Amino acid sequence: MQIKNKQLAPRTAFTMVELVIVIAIIAILMAFLLPAIGGAITSARNATVVSEISNLEKAIGEFKLKFGVEPPSRIYLYEQEAGWDRTDLITRESKAFIRQCWPNFDFDYTDQSGELDINGNDAIESTDDGRIFLNGAECLLFFLGGMCATEDSTGAALRDASGSTPPSGTAGTIEKWFPLGFSTNPSSPFVRGGTRVGPFYEFNSDRIGDINGGTLLRAMPEYIDPLPGQTSPYLYASSHGGRGYNFDATASSAGDIYNVDLALGVSSPAPMEMIYIQSAASTERSTSATPFNKNSYQIISPGLDNQYGTGGAYDKDDGFTGFDDQVQKDNITNFSGGVLDPS
């Protein structure tokens, strides 16, 4: 008599217990993996900013090689030639810097009939002889990028690269800036067209914008870092060749003229605060405070939170002294080699 083997029915699904075990294992693995993945992504993004800051430093070096001086972090420019006759301190400083870079600069704008559309909005500014005040972030873009061709929101040119026509007289709202460098004409480096020197850095036009909105005589753009969702520009502060950072211990608001003022028109930080120094908080505002890069400059990215914090005393080993570091701990600078506080 032949006995046949009984065939078991094929299994078609996991039991509920098995599913729960598998889900629990996946959840445990994800709990370990997600922070590591997130940390790796953040580190990679920060490394991109560190690399870009390094390239900006190289561009500043090229500017200095060409003109013998690093860019300032405050300067007045005038769209009407009469502005250069003013005798206030910053105008005199501005003229001295321009003469250092361009000894034959024509402050009368002779070839432009006495006026020049510097900001590219297709009109000549009227306030205070067309004064345009560049500070910090704006100086970084202007001196490394030079004059800009500009477009409005429809993509129509407000000032094209040729610069062959005078301003129409009707100011337009600028949506795009395209750095052109400076003219090689020794008397008119701020005109468009002709042969050029620079830009000293290849700026991404999609990351150029007038973050400050042209407030307080400012209608010039700044440059933001490549971090996702970034809305605040790179800050730049010059020590003016080691003569010292512009610093005013008495300034208390954006209306208190214009010394450190790296972010005038930006709600945070306050004007005088955004320099990092190597000293105790009690001497932060004193003339004896020693800033990082005391003989050159500071470049500061606000990091992933888009906020700068308050600057001030910072120790590379111990972190911040007397300041809440939660906002500025992710700031990236040219003296830190990464975020200020990676913990």
* Structure confidence by residue, pLDDT tens digits, 46-62: 999 999 999 999 999 99
Read off the pLDDT of each residue in 290-316 and give the average, rounded to a whole number. Answer: 85
pLDDT (0 to 100) of residue 7 = 60
For the entire predicted model, the pTM comes to 0.82
Supply the angle between the helices 16-67 and 137-145 in degrees, to the nearest 10: 60
Domain boundaries, the chain: 46-333
Q: What tokens were used for 32?
A: 């370990």
* Of the listed ranges 6-15, 36-45, 115-124, the one predicted with least confidence: 6-15
Read off the pLDDT of each residue in 10-36 and give the average, rounded to a whole number. Answer: 77
Of the two residues 289 and 9, the one the predictor is more confident about is: 289
pLDDT (0 to 100) of residue 115 = 95
Q: Is the pLDDT of residue 83 over 90?
A: yes
- Phi, psi of 135, rounded to the nearest 5 degrees: -145, 135
CA distance 286 to 282: 8
Between the alpha carbon of residue 251 and those of residues 197, 328, 339, the distances in Å are 37, 21, 28
